[in-house]
Structure 1
Amino acid sequence: MTIATENASSSSTAEQTTRARRLKALGGWAIVGALVLVGVFVATQVGVQMPDRRGALDPEGVGDSGTMALAEILDDQGIDVEVHRSRSDALAAIDDDTTLVMANPFALSDEAVTDLIEPADRVVFLSSSTHLLALLGIGTNAAPDSSPVSAACDVAEFAEVGSIRPDRLFTPSDGVEACFGDDEAAAVLVDEHDGTTRTVVEGARLFSNAYLAEDGNAALGLALLGQSERVVWYVPSYADSDIEGEMPETLGSLTPPWVTPAIVLLILTGLAAALWRGQRFGPLVEETLPVTVRASETMLGRARLTAKAGDAAHAGAALRDGSLRRLARRLGLAERAEPAEVADAASDRLRIPRGSLHELLAGHLPADDAALVDFARRLSELEHAVDAAAHDTKGRE
């Protein structure tokens, strides 16, 4: 009887131990599942609340460089603002009482720019390149000066604007009205000819969300864009470029379709063999290093020195070097590939002629702050365009 009681007691203890282990294992898996669900929930909320990434001077951009605040002011004044990212849609939306607004259309050919602005009686360029100034025949670049200036011209809509602090000035051509400056350097150029009005202004420092409330910036934006009942706001991008190039044959297009599955199968087989035959070498041993160095200290120090010296060319070289290394990785090139090689690979990815990006990635560096802002914006837009093209390529595959 005693032996039977002891056996029953030990059997009950073993069952309780097994049950406890099972409960402990289930509890651990429950915690893991809860953590996964919490992570998915947080990631979903962040994705829902995060604003769309928009470029500079984008009327739907809520960041510091966007112009959503100006678009909302126009809407509050009863002006219908239509945002178009396709030049064909923008061209179709233009009528007799419309103001066509756009930043520098860097991705369009001269013919496409001319065709787009020709039917509009009023066109406002919120930024401009040297090439666009020459195409319009409206003026040239002048030395920058951020001193406050008032209208000082005969354009009636600027009478109540007040003073502004521009970061880029232009020298007007003959017959072009120069406002907010003088005949040698002005922030706004107005060319009225045969019933049409072409206006050029650098709006990155005037109309972006971060600076719109300063000085008379908002009043100037309303004076420029609020002279008609409708505003057709065209947003240029590489995706809407009319510059087409032939896509050269690549290794992927020449590879037979069975090669990729075979490579994947070999990789999986190798991983399985490594897990099967691999040996553990024991736990890792932690070792405290004698010195801890922050990698950001050198970067921040150099950035402060560059900003203090006002060396736009040095800053532009640093920006371009970072963009070249990131583009090289995204395009499958060596990290230290030549700029011309990266430019040609990016042109192939974007389906534009080779040589289109040589000036940006291997040409002259910006000489002043205004050119540096435009240079940084174009580098950022190029990286976004390459990323988008890569995603589109993967989606088609």
Structure 2
Amino acid sequence: MSAVATPAPRARTRGALGWIALIAGLALVSLIGGLFVYGGYAQRGILDPESAGPDGTRAVVRVLEQQGVTVSIARDRADAERALDAGDATLVVPDAPMLSDDGLRDLSGRARHVVLIDPRTRSLDVLLNGSSLGGFAPDVAVDAACEVPAAANAGRARIGSLFVPGDDVRACFGSDGGYGLITIARDGRTITAVDGLATLTNSTLPLDGNAALALGVLGQSERLVWYVPSPADADPGTAPPTLSDLTPPWVTPAIVLLLLSALVAAVWRGRRFGPLVTERLPVTVRATETTEGRARLYTASGDAGHALDELRRAARGRIGRLLGLAARTSPGDTADAVAERLGADRARVRGILVDDRPATDRDLVAAADRLRDLEASVRAAVRTEGTLR
């Protein structure tokens, strides 16, 4: 009768652990990939009203709330429109390149006051009668030199970007032919542009009159809507093409097929670990035989110097341990320590342990005898000192 072989329990356990490790590794890779793909959207960016970083603006939001201003943060266009439709409010608008000119006019038209905190030439041209960017001001405080209440109350402030005002646009904080703040009033509404990075961020708000300027510009109403643009806010038909729109339709199925093929190949060709097997060596060689073999090789080559170096290396190691020397002590230092312990001539001891070079086998035997005698002397000296103590 023949017995059917069954896998050992330990082998089955190892196989199950291997599959568990593979699944856990794939899950970890997927998690890390998801964090890289979506983590950027969760981070708070520059001029974000909830960011406590140096380039965030949470500090000015907290100060406004302490002054009685209700601050609403809208992270897409629909939320901003709903907040503005609830009543008169000041709208804060950073750079929003995804909005068309009409979309920008429509959103700003719902607010009582509009503050552009990171304006570009397009938004300045659309909302401020042809105004444009005009370079950068030095990193020093600039006098307001105008009658706009928010700027006049601040007195001096850091302004950053400069603007060239259009028709009927009032300007403040002049520097190098441009202005750090421009504003236009129309039918009880105001539209103001200022460089938020130089004035409103957590790191720049305490400088000079920046805080007073920020409160004067942003606190014009009891309600403030801080709009944070989203890529999905683009008008229909104006959104830029995505990667999937630019690639042929067969690319995605091909990538999926390649990934599945790689997974199947990994499972097919993966190593299956079984129980450990003890392998018996074909022969056991005694240490004395290997030593004699090396000695015969040295004899055949006629390299007496190399043979003596091996003897010296072993002797220096044993002598170093007897004298309590470090393992990395140099041969010269070892020779000096032996000469000092034995009260012998340093040159003679150094010749035995380091310098003497045998020319013949007879010289090699004599050098080996001197090396053996020196080691015996050190051993006797150490033993004698130990007995005396």
TM superposition score category, shorter chain reference: 0.5 to 0.7
1:138 and 1:189 in contact (8 A); partners too: no
Find the aligned partners of 1:255 and 1:56 in 2 and give their Cα distance.
34
Q: Which residue is equivalent to 2:52?
A: 62
Q: Which residue is equivalent to 1:162?
A: 155
2:137 and 2:176 in contact (8 A); partners too: no
Letter in 1 for 2:161: R
Is 1:104 the counterpart of 2:115 in the alignment?
A: no
Letter in 1 for 2:137: D
Distance 1:52 1:209, change over 3 A: farther
Match of 2:266 among 271, 287, 293: 271
Find the aligned partners of 2:185 and 2:175 in 1 and give their Cα distance.
18
Is 1:241 the counterpart of 2:231 in the alignment?
A: no
Letter in 1 for 2:160: D
2:159 and 2:194 in contact (8 A); partners too: no
Is 1:82 the counterpart of 2:72 in the alignment?
A: yes
Find the aligned partners of 1:249 and 1:182 in 2 and give their Cα distance.
46
1:85 and 1:240 in contact (8 A); partners too: no
SS at structure 1 position matched to 2:91: strand
Q: Which residue is equivalent to 1:298?
A: none
- C-alpha deviation, 1:69, in angstroms: 0.7
Query: What CA deviation, in whole Å up to 9, does each residue of 1:156-192 have, x standing for no partner?
Result: 2333213112211112123111012279421000101
Find the aligned partners of 1:111 and 1:174 in 2 and give their Cα distance.
20
Provide the aligned length of Structure 1 versus Structure 2.
235
SS at structure 1 position matched to 2:141: coil
1:335-374 correspondence to structure 2 within 5 Å: none
Is 1:186 the counterpart of 2:179 in the alignment?
A: yes
- C-alpha deviation, 1:193, in angstroms: 1.7
Letter in 1 for 2:134: A
1:172 and 1:183 in contact (8 A); partners too: no
Is 1:142 the counterpart of 2:137 in the alignment?
A: no
Match of 1:196 among 183, 186, 189: 189
Find the aligned partners of 1:277 and 1:69 in 2 and give their Cα distance.
59
Q: Which residue is equivalent to 1:377?
A: none
SS at structure 2 position matched to 1:187: strand
1:114-125 correspondence to structure 2 within 5 Å: 114-125=105-116
Distance 1:263 1:78, change over 3 A: same
- C-alpha deviation, 1:241, in angstroms: 2.2
1:124-139 correspondence to structure 2 within 5 Å: 124-136=115-127, 137-139=129-131
Find the aligned partners of 1:150 and 1:232 in 2 and give their Cα distance.
29
Match of 1:173 among 166, 169, 176: 166
Distance 1:250 1:207, change over 3 A: same
- C-alpha deviation, 1:267, in angstroms: 2.1
- C-alpha deviation, 1:119, in angstroms: 2.4
Find the aligned partners of 2:176 and 2:257 in 1 and give their Cα distance.
70
Question: Normalised by the size of structure 1, how large is the TM-score?
Answer: 0.52
Find the aligned partners of 2:252 and 2:232 in 1 and give their Cα distance.
27
- C-alpha deviation, 1:255, in angstroms: 6.3
Letter in 2 for 1:144: F
1:101 and 1:126 in contact (8 A); partners too: yes
Q: Which residue is equivalent to 2:61?
A: 71
2:172 and 2:180 in contact (8 A); partners too: yes
Highest Rg: 1 or 2?
2
Percent identical across equivalent pairs? 39
- Structure 2: stretches of 5+ with no match in the other structure: 1-31, 33-40, 274-389
SS at structure 2 position matched to 1:205: helix
SS at structure 1 position matched to 2:154: coil
Question: Normalised by the size of structure 2, how large is the TM-score?
Answer: 0.53
User: In angstroms, what is the RMSD of aligned CA positions?
Assistant: 3.6
Distance 1:207 1:262, change over 3 A: closer
- Structure 1: stretches of 5+ with no match in the other structure: 1-42, 44-50, 279-397
SS at structure 1 position matched to 2:92: strand
SS at structure 1 position matched to 2:110: coil
Find the aligned partners of 1:99 and 1:105 in 2 and give their Cα distance.
17
Letter in 1 for 2:77: R
